Structure 1
């Protein structure tokens, strides 16, 4: 059995797409909100929202730049990527993002 790093998400973007241009292409970054619902001990319906940082490059970055705006519903498939960096004070920061490999535009907006 082959194990693979793969994630699928459907949600709404939380901000406008940020585009970073490089000499050999561009990178698109955006946050995605996904929600789960459950009933708590009091019988109340509760919504739990998770935020995911998406990173997109190549032709998908062009599509994101052109068609994705804040609040747009999208489906993505990709892999989880973990990074670390030292901030200005020398403190190590940990960052998790989804490296998008497939994108589907959903909804009307």
Structure 2
């Protein structure tokens, strides 16, 4: 089984690109704190690169900014490439299956959904954009 769940903060604004066939791909880096000494409460930070595809990539690029808290569920992937000096390099990254916006970007940076958006349905849900690929859960919340 290859499954990872991460919660962290974006180190910079998402980078959105498109493949030659038009598929959206967004790259983010999450800063994730972890304790290294529980008695002294020392922390270390890991920086994890995450690749997000499709409509989730577009939504991430449109609504999340540097510093926002973000959750990812996905898989770890290692790939190789040849650098400019002809050396073989390895990259380990997380490929997102699901993303969750725990904190949104600044309200002033929101872009309202319209009927023309591929991932929106044009319905006004306040300031929270909801895409077709995001699942709403209508459970009873204890507060």
TM class by shorter-chain length?
0.7 to 0.9
Structure with more strand by fraction: 1
Q: CA deviation at 1:30?
A: 0.7
Give runs of aligned pairs for residues 3-14 of structure 1, distance below 5 A. 4-14=1-11
Distance 1:90 1:68 in 2: 36
Answer 1 or 2: higher relative contact order, Cα 8 Å, separation at least 6.
1
Contact 2:64 2:104 in 1 (8 A): no
Write the distance in 2 (CA, Å) between the matches of 1:100 and 1:14: 17
TM-score (norm 2): 0.68
3-state SS in 1 of match to 2:97: strand
Q: CA deviation at 1:108?
A: 5.2
- Quote the offset at 1:63 in angstroms: 1.0
- Please tell me the root mean square deviation across aligned C-alpha atoms, in Å: 1.4
Q: Could you say which residue in structure 2 is the equivalent of 1:15?
A: 12
Measured after TM superposition, the shift of residue 38 of structure 1 is 3.9
Alignment partners' CA distance in 2, 1:54 and 1:88:
23
CA deviations on 1:21-77 (whole Å, 9 max, x unpaired) are 12322110010011112436xx53211111110000111111111111111101110
Q: Which has the larger radius of gyration?
A: 2
In the TM superposition, 1:57-96 aligns within 5 A as 57-96=53-92
Alignment gaps of 5+ in structure 2: 106-143
Q: Which residue does 1:37 correspond to in 2?
A: 35
- For structure 1, which runs of at least 5 residues remain unmatched after alignment? none
Which runs of 4 or more aligned residues in structure 1 lie more than 3 Å from their structure 2 counterparts after TM superposition?
A: none
